[in-house]
Every structure is written in C-alpha cells, then in structure tokens.
Amino acid sequence: MMSPVTQSMAILFASVLFTLCGRSSEARLTVEKGLKTMVYLSPKITQHPGSSSNKTYYDIDFPKGHIAIKSFNAEIVDETGNPVSLEETYMHHWFIARYYQHKDIKLISGNAGLCDHGHPQFFGLGSETRKTSTHVPDPYGVEVGNPVQVPAGFEEKWLFNIHAIDTRGTLDPMGCIECRCTLYNVTKNEHGLPLDPNYKGGFHCCYDGTQCEMKKGLKSVKRNVYLRYTVKWVDWSESVVPVQIYVLDVTDPWQSTGTHMCTLEYDIDKSVTGVGTNELTSTKRSNISFPTAGDVVYAVAHLHTGGTGSNLYGEDGRVICVSKPIYGQGNSVGDEAGYIVGMTTCYPKPGSVKIGKNEILTLESSYSSEKSHTGVLGLFYILVAESSFKP
C-alpha cells in the first residue's frame, strides 16, 4: 500500500505525464492503415463553483499539412486526465473553426454556411459530445491545409470557443446551464449594454466571468479542467472525396427575409394546454434554401436539455435525417441523468440521399414544454459531397 507521500508523488507524476502527452505530437500520435490519430489538450480552464467560462483560444494544436479530417471528438477532463461529470462542469458548447493569420490580421474561414454569422465551426457539440459520432465515412473527408486555398501571405490556423459552466453547489443547476438571467444577477451583456427586459436567459447572461447563484455557506474550491480532443485524419489524395460542412439553424429567417441572419437561440414557454396528455411538445420550424446540389454523407442535430428531437426534410417531404437525443439514466460520467449525453446520427448509403440546388429544406426542432426553457438551440450539421465529385 502506498504511503501518503508516495501516493501524492504518483498523482503529481500522472498529472505531469498527462499534460506532456496531451501536448506532445509524438507521444500520442498513432497510425493505423494510413489513419492518423492525435490526442491534444486545450489551454487550461480555471473554474470555481458557479462560474461560467466562455473563451476563444487562438492558434490551438492541430494537425499540419494537406489532410482530410475523418473525425473530431472531445470531452472535459481534470488535471489527472479523468473525465469530468456534466453534473459538475456542464459543457454548454465547444466548437473549432479555421482562420487565416497575417501579422495581427485574423480572417475567419468558416464552413460552407448557411447562417451569415454565428456558426463558423467545422466541428462543435455540447453536453452530447461523449456519445455522438463524428466519423466521416470513406471515401469522404473534410479537406483542410490545402495551400492553394490559403490567401497569399497568410497562415492557416485553428481556434477553439469553449463554454463550460461549473454547477458544483449551485442553487439551481438546470437553471444555471440554461443561463437564466435572474440566477446570474445580470442586467447587461458582456459589452455593458442593457439587456431587453423580455430577455429571460441565454448566452447574454452567462458570458465569461459571470457567476450563477450558489447555495448558502458552501466553500468555493477552484480547479482546472481541459477539453481533451482527438483528431483523426488521412493525408490528402485523389482517392478522397471532399465534403462541405453546412450548419442549419431553426432560427434562420430566410423564408421571410431572404437572408440567413440567424438569432441562434430562442426560448420555450411552459405549455398552458395539454396538461395530462402527450401534447407537451413545442416544435419550431424553418424553411431554408440550400445553395448547392449534392449527396448527404452525414447529419446530426444539436439540442439543449429538454430537447426531444430534430427532423430535416426535403422539399417533397422526404426525410433526410431524424436525430434524437440520448438522455443519461444514472450518475456515472457519460450517463448523467437528466442531461443529453449523445445524439443519434444519420449515415445514408453513399448517393442515396440527394439535395438539389436551391431546394427548400424544412428543419424542425422539438422541445418538451412541460416547463419553460431559455437559451435553447436547434442546429443541424450536415456533410454534403457536391454532385461533381465521384468516389
């Protein structure tokens, strides 16, 4: 049996080794049949009970060269490398985006659309990150690092936006993760501008540095956590069929305005009818014109707690994808009761699900209206191989 000193040294060694492995490109790189895998750590995220951390980290570790990304997975871990429960640190969202840099100039190079702002990510999830597949099937891949696509004089780099909420000891954990303004005692946004009196909750109330209401008499204990992310890729070759990433948003006003200036979040009101029936569901819909023709390779929705499912339909009513939340049933990490711990995904047989150029798609996002919810999202990620590319 280890002495207390020996045990402390072992924990310290494990912590140091974990940090070195996460940062070392050689220590964690594996190659199997051409598929390369690398495990990285995000910069340190310092938290204390009730705190909200929402930072953007530029120039993060990422594979170099002209490659095809095959998957991108992530999870929150502590300093010893152990996964952290959603009941302690709630992953509101994380996303990774590409940008080009020249001296002090940064140009965001987002995905293929469709929102004109707010969704530049290549990959991004939330509490569902541990049990949601992001694998891109063969022969497809997300092309990055192509020197032809980089503006002259610029360098391709990557950034993280990570929004993590520490709910240890909070008075209302579910209210904290929905960013209810009263719990954060916030009346102004992060830029110091007054909030609309009708704004009940959302990311404008849980920005970086805000504090959710705590239970009385609890000691505040700081700790550091990290986003551990795993990237899989292959070197680019002519055998890879490139896919474009589209992020659809149920708040997209295109049908009424002709623009894609999405508002990103919205609220769910508590139902005043249907009590005692199966009608306690609120469904929001949007119609969106798709800009190009192609084959759907992968699709998945992103919902917040309270979500019941999301559907994407073609113009003729055909189902393109149905994505359902997976709720935890216990108290172990990855199975936290009441939290969305995964989303079901769609992998159509290559060439079997097509979208036409300028086809009007219908996106539906549904939430339980048994009680109110603030700051919810209704996104749908789809990977599309343009029709001109053939395996």
CA distance 299 to 379: 11
Q: Given this model, what pLDDT does residue 112 score?
A: 95
pTM of the model: 0.90
Run means of pLDDT, 10 residues per run, the chain, 391 residues: 41 40 55 95 97 97 97 97 98 98 95 90 97 97 97 97 98 98 97 96 98 92 96 97 97 94 95 71 96 97 98 98 98 97 97 96 97 98 82 51
Is residue 281 within 8 Å of 311, Cβ to Cβ?
A: no
Please report, to the nearest 10 degrees, the dihedral formed by the alpha carbons of residues 308, 312, 316, 317 taken in order.
-10
Q: Which of 314, 379, 323 is nearest to 352 (CA)?
A: 314
Which residue, chain included where needed, has tokens 């310092």?
A: 46
Whole-number pLDDT of residue 20 = 40
> Dihedral angle at the C-alpha atoms of 344, 345, 348, 353, nearest 10 degrees?
100
**pLDDT of amino acid 277:** 57
Q: What per-residue confidence (pLDDT) applies to 390?
A: 57
What is residue 118's predicted lDDT score, i.e. its pLDDT?
82
pLDDT for position 217: 87
Q: Contact 140/71 with Cβ under 8 angstroms?
A: no
